[in-house]
Chains A and B, each alone.
Chain A
Amino acid sequence: MVRYLGRKIFIYLLTFFVAVTIDWLIPRFMPGDPIGMLLSRIGSRPEAFKYLYTYYVQAFQLDVPLWQQYVNFWKGLFQGDLGVSIWMYPQPVMTIIRRAIPYDIFLLLPAILLSWFAGNHVGALAARIRWLDNTILPLGYLLTATPYMWLALVLVWFLGNQTNLFPIAGAYSPQYRPHLSLTFILDVLHHWFLPFLSLFLVMFGGWAIGMRNMIIYELESDYSRYLEALGTPQYLIRRYAFRNAMLPQITGLALQLGGIVAGAVATEVVFAYPGIGYIILNAVQNKDYFLVQGCFLFIILGVLIANFLIDLVYVLVDPRTRLGMTGE
Chain B
Amino acid sequence: MLQVENLTVYYKTIRGYVQALEQATFKIADGEIMGLAGESGCGKTTLGHSLIYLRPPMNYIGGRVVLDGQELPIWDMEKMREFRYRHVSLIPQYAMNALNPTRKIGRMIAELLESRGVNYNDVLPELKRRLDLVQLTHDVLKMYPIELSGGMKQRTVMVVSTLLNPSLLIADEITSALDVSTQKAVCEMLVEFRDRGFVKSTIIITHDISILYQIADSILVMYAGQLSEKAPSEIIFRDARHPYTRLLIGSLPKVGVRYREERLRGIPGSPPQLLNPPPGCRFRERCPVAFDRCVEVPPFLEISPGHFVACWRAY
Binding site for B on A (CB under 8 A): 221-223, 225-233, 235-236, 240, 243-244, 247, 317-320, 323
Interface size range of chain B in the complex: 20 to 34
Q: Are A222 and B146 in contact (CB under 8 A)?
A: no
Stretch at the interface among B81-89, B188-196, B216-224: B81-89
Q: Mark B120-150, 1 if CB is under 8 A from A, else 0.
A: 0000000000000000000000001011000
Number of A-B residue pairs at CB separation under 8 A: 76
Known: A320-B146, A323-B146. A230 touches B84 (CB 8 A): yes
Interface centre among B90, B94, B100 (most CB of A within 10 A): B100
Q: Are B144 and A223 within 8 A (Cβ)?
A: no
Which chain B residues (237-285) contact chain A, with CB distance < 8 Å?
none
B182 contacts the other chain (CB 8 A): no
A240 and B84 in contact (CB under 8 A), knowing A223-B97, A228-B53?
Answer: no
B92: interface (CB < 8 Å): yes
Contact of A230 among B89, B101, B102, B147 (CB under 8 A): B89
Q: Is B98 part of the contact surface with A, judged by Cβ < 8 Å?
A: yes
14 extra A-B contacts, CB within 8 A, seeds A222-B94, A227-B112, A229-B92 = A222-B97, A223-B97, A223-B100, A226-B92, A226-B98, A229-B53, A230-B89, A231-B84, A231-B85, A232-B116, A233-B81, A236-B115, A240-B103, A244-B102
Interface of chain A: mostly helix, strand, loop or mixed = helix
Most A C-beta atoms less than 10 A away, residue of B82, B92, B157, B160? B92
B52 contact set on A, CB distance < 8 A: 229
A319 touches B116 (CB 8 A): no
Distance from A237 Cβ to chain B, minimum over Cβ atoms (Å) = 9
B199 CB–A CB distance under 8 Å:
no
Residues 45-65 of chain B, each 1 if its beta carbon lies under 8 Å from chain A, else 0: 000010011010000000000
Say which residue of A221, A230, A233 sits within 8 Å of B90 (CB atoms). Answer: A230
Inter-chain contact A232/B97, CB cutoff 8 Å: no
Asked if B86 and A231 make an inter-chain contact with CB atoms under 8 angstroms apart, the answer reads: yes
Cβ-closest chain B residue relative to A317: B102
Cα A244 to Cα B103 with chains together (Å): 10
Q: Does B147 lie within 8 Å of A323, measured CB to CB?
A: yes
Residue of B nearest to A223 (CB): B100
**Shortest beta-carbon contacts, A-B, top 3:** A231-B84, A222-B97, A226-B98
CB of B101 within 8 A of CB of A223, answer yes
Interface 0/1 of B64-94, CB less than 8 Å to A: 0000000000000000111111100110101
Least CB separation from A232: chain B residue: B115
Flag if A244 contacts B115 (CB, 8 Å). Answer: no
Residue B111 at the chain A interface, CB threshold 8 Å: yes
Which one of A225, A228, A244 lies within 8 Å of B101 (CB-CB)?
A244
- 24 pairs, A vs B, C-beta closer than 8 Å: A222-B94, A223-B97, A223-B100, A225-B92, A225-B94, A226-B98, A226-B157, A227-B112, A229-B52, A230-B89, A230-B161, A231-B82, A231-B86, A233-B115, A235-B115, A240-B100, A240-B102, A244-B101, A247-B102, A319-B101, A319-B102, A320-B144, A320-B146, A323-B147
CA distance A230 to B112 in the complex (A): 9
Query: A221 to B100, alpha carbons, bound, how many Å?
Result: 9
- Using known A-B contacts A229-B84, A240-B100, A244-B102, determine if residue A222 contacts B144 with beta carbons closer than 8 Å: no
Residue numbers in A under 8 Å from B49 (CB-CB): 229
CB distance from A282 to the nearest CB of B (A): 46
- What's the Cα separation between A326 and B104 when bound, in Å? 18
Is B33 among interface residues, defined by CB-CB distance under 8 A? no
* B168 at the A interface (CB under 8 A): no
Q: Give Cα A320–Cα B101 distance, bound, in whole angstroms.
A: 8
A319→B144 contact, CB < 8 A: yes
Of the candidates B90, B100, B144, B157, the one whose C-beta lies within 8 Å of that of A244 is B100
Q: Are B92 and A222 in contact (CB under 8 A)?
A: yes
Find out whether the CB atom of A223 lies under 8 angstroms from the CB atom of B98: yes
